[in-house]
Amino acid sequence: MEKPKFLPIWIGLFLIIVFLLQNLFSDFTDIFLLNQNSLEEPWRFLTAIFLHGGVAHLLYNLFALIFFGLTLERLIGSRRFLVFYLISGILANLASFWFYPSSLGASGAIMAVIGCVAVLRPMMTVWAFGVIMPMFILGIIWIIGSVLGIFGLGEAGIGHIAHLAGILIGVLYGFYLRLRRSGAKNNSFNFNRTIVIPEANIRRWEDWNLR
């Protein structure tokens, strides 16, 4: 496994810089957020991942990204984490594009990270909603909350579809990694594998048995 590069922290710093640019330049957010022009301006499916609608939105995402992101990076490696994070964010934006006139935020990608960690480390304990619970329970709660939000039972102004899409992407990828890892363990004994015996051992055996 490659040495972790602490990418979630670097991504978090980049999110802070982008948020400062959003507040310094009035048209910055409009150029990069996800809206109904995104099919003609496809970069928005990526750039919207790095935008935020306010300080609270940014801080919440930063906390979740660093806490769960560092865990996932340690489990799957830095390069794989970065690719997974970006692709998950794009796919979550593709899902939300059809339902919202405009949206922004890293929540879809971060929910994918949470979903993946919940599958890879289901019994990891976390503090959430005022109690300590296993990671898989937290994942289930977020899935239920997103589903309820889609039907209007959650807080308004939140991209529940992007959240649900992200966490489901993470869960699917987590199961893929578990199955792949399980298959590698099952195939660890290969009947076609060449067995190499050091020459010194062969000579020792010959000296002992053929003298």
- Which of 52, 57, 160, 163 is labelled catalytic? 163
**Which ranges of 48-134 would DSSP assign to H, the alpha helix?**
55-76, 78-97, 107-120
| Cβ-contact 170, 111 below 8 angstroms | yes
Question: What span, in angstroms and rounded, lies between the C-alpha atoms of 107 and 162?
Answer: 7
The three state secondary structure string of 127-170 is EECCEEEEHHHHHHHHHHHHHHHHCCCCCCCCCHHHHHHHHHHH
- Is 57 designated active site? no
The C-alpha atoms of residue 194 and residue 151 are separated, in whole angstroms, by: 59
163 is catalytic: yes
User: Which of the following is catalytic: 38, 107, 146, 160?
Assistant: 107
Distances (CA, A) of 77 to 82, 84, 91, 178: 9, 11, 21, 15
Tell me the catalytic residues: 107, 163
